[in-house]
Every structure is written in C-alpha cells, then in structure tokens.
Structure 1
Amino acid sequence: MTAYAMAHLRTTSSHGDVFEYIERIQDTMDPYGGRFVVHGPEVEVLEGEWPGTLVILEFPDLEAARDWYASPAYQEILPLRTRHIEGDTLIFEGVGRGYDARVTAAALRAAAGVRVPR
C-alpha cells in the first residue's frame, strides 16, 4: 500500500541551511523509492486556518517511508531544516485504488450500532 510523509511547515526560512536541505533531500529519498507529490504550494484554505506550507512525499509502502526517515542520510540533513523551520511531520498509509468511503461508513455504522436513516 502506498505510503506518504507529510510535513506541515508553519514557518519558512531563507537560511542557507534550508537551501542545502532542499538540494540534498532527493538523494536521501531515491534509495527508498520516494518522490515529491506536493512541495510548498500556495494553499487555498476553505475551512479553518492553515499557517505555513505543505510538503507531501510518496513512498511504495510504509516500511520504505519509515526506513527513509530513519536513514543515516536523511538524519544527517534533517537538522538543516529543523533548526530554522517549525513544523510537524507525519507518515501514513494511503488507500487502495478501489477504496469506497461508503464501505467504510457502513462498517463504522455497524460497529457503532447506528442504523442507516430512511
């Protein structure tokens, strides 16, 4: 199952360390099949607040994403970003191509004992 690493970067920085981090990150991802899906776009906030920017990386599976994050190569460059940018980073699995939210809703209703309204 495809997995993703997501960073919500609440602050930005023009520090040279950050530029070096960006220059070097792809080389840390390549051995794990990682690629950028989203990298710092302008976001349109439809609900709530969203300070900062967003980065989403894609990996073949959760193990590859975890191995990339824990790798010596990535851990070596990580402080180049974290010393200058405040944010949160998550790793999570996606859903398969055939995913249907209605099936999930039905399972949640059944587990909660809530009937479908008529």
Structure 2
Amino acid sequence: MTAYMIFTRESTQDQAALDAYHSKVRDSFDGYPHKVLAAYGTQQMLEGDPAEATVILEFPSVTAARAWYDSDTYQQVAQHRLEGSRHRVMLIKGQ
C-alpha cells in the first residue's frame, strides 16, 4: 500500500549545513523507488502557522519508505538537515 513522507521545515538554523543536505540528498534515493509529489512550491496556508518549506514524497509502501529513511546513506545525509534546520517529518500510510 502506498505511503507518503512529508517533510516540513519549521526554521533554518545553519544555511551552510542545509545547503550540504540539499546537495547530497538526491543520491540517497538510488535504489529506493519513490516519487516527489511536491517540493518547495508556493504554499497557501489555510490554517495554522506556515512552514518555511514542504516536501511530499510517495513510496510504494511504508516498508519501502522506512528502508530509505533508515538507510545508512540517508541517515548520514540527514545529519546536515538536523544540524541546519528544525523539521517535522511524518510517514502516512495511504488508502
């Protein structure tokens, strides 16, 4: 069953670290089937506080999404994201 991973960047602490993340994250997807549904597009907040940025990824399953997210390759790249910004990341099982 399809799964969706949603990243919302709440704030940036270190732009250089965030730039390092952005320069490396694409390579972390090699071998992991996924689809980028939305990335850094214009947001229209209808309720709540706005995020600086949002990314929505689609994976074939929760297991596939966790395989990428938990991979050593992504976790090494993610250290730059964690150093450079405050994010919320959620995984949602599709219908």
Normalization by structure 2: what TM-score? 0.86
Q: 1:2 to 1:52 in 2, by over 3 A?
A: same
SS of structure 2 residue aligned to 1:57: strand
The structure that is helix-richer by fraction is 1
Distance 1:35 1:23, change over 3 A: farther
Q: Pairwise mapping of residues 1-118 of structure 1 onto structure 2 (< 5 A)?
A: 1-12=1-12, 15-95=15-95
- The structure richer in strand per residue is 2
Shift of 1:13: 5.8
Q: TM-score, normalised by structure 1?
A: 0.71
5+ residue gaps in structure 1?
A: 96-118
- Partner-residue secondary structure (3-state), 2:84: coil
Give the C-alpha shift of residue 31 in structure 1.
Answer: 1.2
Q: Structure 1 residue 49: deviation in Å? A: 2.5
Stretches of structure 2 lacking an aligned partner (at least 5 in a row): none
Counting matched residue pairs gives 95
CA–CA distance in structure 1, aligned partners of residues 14 and 41 of structure 2: 16
- Measured in 2, the distance between the counterparts of 1:37 and 1:51 equals 17
Do 2:13 and 2:83's aligned partners in 1 also have CA atoms closer than 8 Å? no
CA distance in 2, matches of 1:26, 1:34: 11
Taking the aligned partners of 2:12 and 2:45, their CA distance within structure 1 comes to: 18
d(CA) in 1 for partners of 2:33 and 2:23?
17
What residue identity is the alignment partner of 2:31? P
The Cα of 1:61 is off from its aligned counterpart by 0.9
Q: Deviations over 1:35-92 (max 9, x none)?
A: 3211112210122322322111111111110011100000111111111111111111
State the Cα RMSD in Å. Answer: 1.7
Which residue identity lines up with residue 61 of structure 2 in the other structure? D
